[in-house]
Structure 1
Amino acid sequence: MQKLLSIVLMFLAVGMSAQTALYNSGNLRIHENGTLGFHTDLINEAPFDTNLGLAGFYGTDALRVSGSVVPLFHDVEIMVENGLNLNLGIDNANNTNFILGDINTPKNLNDIYYNFLDSDGFYIGEGDLTKVNGFAAIANQQNFVFPVGDGTFLRAVTLSSERTTLFAKCAYFFEDPSAPLSLNGSYDTNELGRELERVNAVEFWKLESDVAATINLSWNTRSNMGILTDDTNTIVLAGWSKTNIRWENLGASSVVGDLEEGFLTSLPFVPNDYDIIGLGVSKIPFEPLAKEVLSLDNYFVSPNGDGINDFLFIPELEESPNNLVRIYDRYGLKVFEKPNYRDEFSGIPNVDNLVVQKDQGLPAGVYFYTVFMKDLNLNYQGFLYLTNK
């Protein structure tokens, strides 16, 4: 019976593809192992929340989800070349597979969002062409990487909460915070607390959560960090205080990278205390950044089995067997960590994470690495380029 109903639902979706929208007024359900493919808009006006199979959105033209009742899907697949536009939110109970195209939500309406539910909600396939361009949310999760960005770049935020948060939400804005186009209000980048020198005037994030947390926040060449500072150790997280009505220095526990590309790890703060957050420059480096950080060479790793550069080899570690190596992607997501490192990294992640699949190799690209030589009390950082060729 389950298989029969799944087939009926598939024909329903295909049969409606030539019309303007599929209108759900009730009685739709995706059973286990069933698939419902949307090749047209979805107007959802009835509960659509007992689904166990796959809801896929496919096509070259933009598709739209609207209506009055938020649908709850088990697995979701996005392959819409010109994007899936949400006029109504979507709840995802299990996996979202980004294949092609963004999920777009109105950035001026933060009550419409793509919601990853509970501890089972996760995703794969995120990238510059496959992300949430708007608001992404989580429910009942403690640690999560929000796959948010704009129409050009993924600008993910890694949230590490002190405990499980009932609800959190995030969006990225490539806009001047002093005169944002998408939000009501102004967050004047000249209104600064006494410990803050400057605030980035080209981009910001809106992050909501009532649980204290640390975050990882990245920058790229478009962030123009070189205009703000010539010293990465002065880069900090900045937040627009709801209480003091100004930008305040929220500090940073570490900064990795250079002025072209890098990320920071923040000190603990409560996101709901701040309207928006962004990158800033401290007048005085915080104590965690006062320690000297040296640079090693940039490395090339090509784990193709030819015996050349198949593993990350750092010659300096031969002088310091008591060490700790960490590797991060360009969004600040930790993908590898190994104490007493001995040339083990070959492009395979070893960190428990809902986004990275540990049984698959990491995508080609630039990664950051940090090295702490414990016996020498030295800290190093650098870049590596990973390729499978």
Structure 2
Amino acid sequence: VLTTVSGADYKDYTSTVNNSVSSVMITPTAADPTATITVNNVAVVSGTASDPITLNVGGNTITTSITDGVTTNTYSIVITRQAPAVLASLYDDKQTAPVTVNEVVVHQNVSPNGDGKSDYLQIDGISAYPDNTLQIMSRSGTLVYEVKGYDNTSKVFDGHSNTNGKLQQAGTYFYSLEYKDGNDTKHKTGFLVLKY
């Protein structure tokens, strides 16, 4: 959610995201079809998404400029990525080691080349949350994989679409993971890189 704030630019916004959001894309649309648009000084076609912009913990400024050759308007968004949650630990004096609370971590590299390393999308801690739904989209927003109950064993993304069975091209894809934690529904979004 963007909040308009006062600032030096044509329009200034702020937003805050969870630590699980590691990147965003900006989709600027110009009213003038001849206008030139840049996002962080990289040209973007009106109505299409920018390349993923990595978010560091803390404040991240994203600048979008639109010019018609005479007038240039600059839009700035300061996105604050929250710090990671502190990992809680439970200790039982009958055990010799602390038991950590399950944390869901989505690995960003998928390399299904048969070498036994990152051959499928690994999601740490997902077995503790069997009531989950994973969606993976291409950069254009096309759904290439969707499954309920992702489990790192029988239900895995290994580069093949489960909507058409085709092996997907190498590149950047985006995921949306929703899972039930007790009565709470939690969400994680981000990107992954598929390479062979």
Between 1 and 2, higher relative CO (CA 8 Å, sep ≥ 6) is seen in 2
Higher helix share: 1
- In the superposition, the TM-score normalised over structure 1's length comes to 0.26
Say which one has the larger Rg.
Answer: 1
